[in-house]
Structure formats: structure tokens, C-alpha cells
């Protein structure tokens, strides 16, 4: 099977490296068929590489070569990547990508083209890098009545929040450490604002529930406002604060989807997932709770997931894999402000009697060293709209709201 690679950045170089180094292993996995890298589309030159003769600059060479069975796209974004991937599918070639932005925005369209052309559009590496989650969902859990999927989908923010919780590091200092170690980009906006996790939960929700969910439909919050006092509250009950992406099917068939920093109590299985690790929870009516865990990014972990998709394409031999969702004629997401849930609140200026009169029975958190007059608590399930109304009333009574987070259980 001959393949072409688009892009020779960090991920693309990892794919080329594994294809060459693991050639014998791949051949055993495919029952004797090799996966040969014929072209690498790049605008830069790499004359010192042992495979420098495979670099080209004209995509039409790949598009028009009948020997090319599968195209691996590793350039990112929705501009050129979309044009290349669409053209490759229309030319009857399988496409494998790790491009989460493209899959979240254009997945329904590209999957429809792949289905029409009887080829595959695969993207195992687009959600949790080296952690296999896409294939287990469509292969092993296709009949599992999945009700909820979500978890820690961004290793950068998890590293920062872990530093803040375990070592009491300030947010900016933790971010600088992440950048120094290569865990965060020079411009970390997509990570710390929740955009990266939003794209990933859109892919998961679309795959699990069968209808396209796009980032513009999902409320996303970042982690910049998390304070040391919030971490102290979490620590006081052996909990944690994590950036969570969550998609849940409600009783009326609509989906509650959100990305936000959330308060995790001691019994939450995601609480102990620290550092740059990702973890995804799948809650099923038949299989119960399942969790997938591992490093979500990096050159070789991501490349290994891409190679797994290449093996899928080699084994498919003209058969479609069960990866598909369709465009929805109307939004399938519920009104985010109307879905009830528990919330963590930290405020000053109200005594416990006034708090309970407004919020009903609450669970108080009593961290050591809390400022005088400050109270933190967990509410009973209420909708965000109701919560905002109650907090407005609290402010009129002299309260100062210092923090509010969802509770993820």
C-alpha cells in the first residue's frame, strides 16, 4: 500500500519516522503487505534526511497518482488542509488526519464524501493523540447506549492546574513552566481558553450521538480565572479542579455539551489524572463507566495513532469503517443555561443562614486559612440561569462572588 504524507512538521516527521523504522512490524500486522511512503508534500527542503528524495511541492502529483491508496494530512487548520483532504477523498483515496479543528468543523461533509466514494476518513489522533478513543467507541461500544462522554481532553491545561493544586503555583508561573517544557505553545490561547478541548468534545459528541456538533454551538470557558483559593477548597475535600469537556444525552434527546473548569470531588475517577495526561470517561447504560487514559500529545504518541489508522485502511480493502455522523438540520444541543447541575461557589459577605435561605441545603467547604467572612460551598442541582439569578440576589444583599464552577461527577 503506497501512501502520501502532507506536512513534515512535528507530527508529520513522526509519521515518516515510524513508517520507516517500524516497516517490519507493520508488515506482520497487515499479513505481509507493506505500507510504503511514496511522497511527502512540503514547501521546505530537508536535504539531510535519508528520505529526502520523496519530498514534492505539487499536490496534483499525489491527487493524480493511482498508486496512492491513502493520504496522511498533518498540517492542521481548515484552509489548505480542507482543500487537500477533500480533493484526496474525491479522487478515491483514503484520508487519515490528526487535525482536530478540521474534523470538528468539516467532519460531516468529509465523511459524507468518503461514504460516497467508498473510502475512509479516519482521525484517531485528533482527540487524545496517542490514546485510542475513536476506534473503541465505534468498534467496541457501538451498541453500548452511551449516555455521556467527556473528561480531561487537553494536557497543557491539566499540567497547569496540577501545578496549581499540588505545588500551589500561580497560574502565570505554571503556564511559563509548561511553555519551557514544550507542553504549551508560545501562544497558548487555544489551550487555556478551552478552544482545543471544545474541538475535541465536538468530535466525540458527533461520533457518539450521530449528529454534527460544531464548536460555535458549544459554550467554552478557559482556566485563567482559577485562583489559589479555589484549589485550597478542592484540596480540603481531596478533590481537584480540571478543565472538562462533556457531552451528555438528556431525556428529551437533546445534548448538553460544555467545556469549562470544573470542581471534582474525591469520588470522581478523573480527580487523580495529573500532569500532561488526558483521560476520557464514557458512561454507558450497558457497559457502565469506562475510562481511557494516557499522554494526549507529542510527536510519537500522535504518530502511533496515525499509523493505527493506516493499518485500518490497509485492512479495510474497499470496506467502510463505522465512522460516520451527519449534518443536523437544526441544532441538537440543549439550552446551556437550562440544564441543572451542581455548582461550586465561593463568596464573601453572607453568613450561612443567608446562604441557605437563597440556595437551600448546601455542602460547605472549610479550607485552612480561608479569609474571614469567605464561604465556599457546593449547591444542590440547579440550572445556570437559576444560579445567576440567585447570585444576583446575593450581591444585592452585600455578597461578593469570587468564584463559581460546575461540579463534574
Which residues are marked as active site?
Answer: 200
Helices 171-180 and 155-166 meet at what angle, rounded to 10? 130
Distance CA 153, CA 2 (A): 33
With contact defined as beta carbons under 8 Å apart, do 294 and 277 qualify?
A: yes
* H or E element at residue 385: helix 384-396
Residues 24, 129, 194: CA angle, nearest 5 degrees: 170
Task: Give which of 196, 192, 340, 328 is closest to 256, Cα–Cα.
Answer: 340
**Cβ-count burial 250-289 (b if 16+ within 10 Å, e if not):** eeeebbbbbbbbbbbbeebebbebbebbbbbbbbbeeeee
Helices 155-166 and 228-236 meet at what angle, rounded to 10? 70
Distance CA 81, CA 110 (A): 12
User: For the sheet containing 374-378, what is the strand order?
Assistant: 288-295, 277-284, 146-152, 240-249, 255-264, 400-408, 343-348, 374-378, 363-365
Distance CA 273, CA 275 (A): 7
Which residues have C-beta within 8 Å of that of residue 288, sequence separation ≥ 6? none
Cell, residue 17: 519516522
Distance CA 30, CA 162 (A): 41
Strand partners, 259: 220, 245
Q: What is the dihedral of CA 84, 12, 123, 134, to 10 degrees?
A: 180
Amino acid at each position: 500500500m503506497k501512501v502520501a504524507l502532507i506536512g513534515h512538521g512535528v507530527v508529520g516527521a513522526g509519521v515518516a519516522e515510524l513508517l520507516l523504522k517500524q516497516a517490519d512490524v507493520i508488515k506482520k500486522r497487515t499479513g505481509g503487505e507493506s505500507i510504503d511512503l511514496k511522497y511527502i508534500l512540503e514547501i521546505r527542503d530537508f536535504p539531510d534526511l535519508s528520505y529526502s528524495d520523496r519530498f514534492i511541492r505539487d499536490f496534483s502529483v499525489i491527487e493524480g497518482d493511482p498508486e496512492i491508496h491513502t493520504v496522511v494530512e498533518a498540517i492542521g487548520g481548515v484552509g489548505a488542509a480542507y482543500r487537500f483532504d477533500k480533493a484526496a477523498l474525491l479522487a478515491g483515496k483514503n484520508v487519515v488526519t490528526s487535525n482536530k479543528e478540521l474534523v470538528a468543523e468539516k467532519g460531516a461533509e468529509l465523511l459524507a464524501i468518503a461514504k460516497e466514494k467508498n473510502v475512509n476518513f479516519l482521525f484517531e489522533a485528533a482527540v487524545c493523540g496517542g490514546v485510542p478513543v475513536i476506534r473503541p467507541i465505534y468498534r467496541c461500544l457501538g451498541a453500548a447506549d452511551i449516555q455521556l462522554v467527556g473528561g480531561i481532553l487537553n494536557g497543557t491545561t491539566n499540567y497547569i492546574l496540577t501545578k496549581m493544586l499540588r505545588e500551589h503555583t500561580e497560574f502565570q508561573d505554571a503556564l511559563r513552566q509548561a511553555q519551557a517544557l514544550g507542553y504549551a505553545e508560545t501562544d497558548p490561547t487555544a489551550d487555556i481558553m478551552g478552544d482545543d478541548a471544545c474541538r475535541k468534545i465536538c468530535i466525540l459528541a458527533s461520533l457518539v450521538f450521530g449528529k454534527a456538533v460544531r464548536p460555535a454551538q458549544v459554550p467554552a470557558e478557559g482556566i485563567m480565572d482559577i485562583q489559589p483559593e479555589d484549589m485550597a477548597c478542592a484540596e480540603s475535600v481531596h478533590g481537584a479542579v480540571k478543565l472538562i469537556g462533556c457531552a451528555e444525552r438528556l431525556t428529551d434527546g437533546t445534548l448538553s455539551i460544555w467545556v469549562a473548569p470544573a470542581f471534582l470531588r474525591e469520588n470522581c475517577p478523573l480527580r487523580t489524572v495529573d500532569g500532561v495526561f488526558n483521560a476520557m470517561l464514557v458512561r454507558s447504560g450497558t457497559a457502565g463507566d469506562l475510562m481511557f487514559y494516557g499522554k494526549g500529545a507529542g510527536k510519537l504518541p500522535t504518530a502511533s495513532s496515525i499509523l493505527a489508522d493506516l493499518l485500518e485502511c490497509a485492512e479495510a480493502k474497499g470496506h467502510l469503517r463505522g465512522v460516520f455522523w451527519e449534518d443536523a438540520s437544526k441544532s441538537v444541543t440543549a439550552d446551556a443555561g437550562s440544564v441543572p447541575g451542581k455548582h461550586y461557589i465561593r463568596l464573601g459577605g453572607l453568613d450561612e443562614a443567608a446562604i441557605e435561605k437563597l440556595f437551600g441545603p448546601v455542602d460547605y467547604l472549610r479550607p485552612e486559612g480561608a479569609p474571614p467572612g469567605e464561604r465556599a460551598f457546593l449547591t444542590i442541582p440547579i440550572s445556570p440561569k437559576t444560579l445567576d439569578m440567585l447570585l444576583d440576589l446575593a450581591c444585592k444583599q452585600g455578597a461578593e462572588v469570587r468564584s463559581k464552577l460546575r461540579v463534574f461527577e
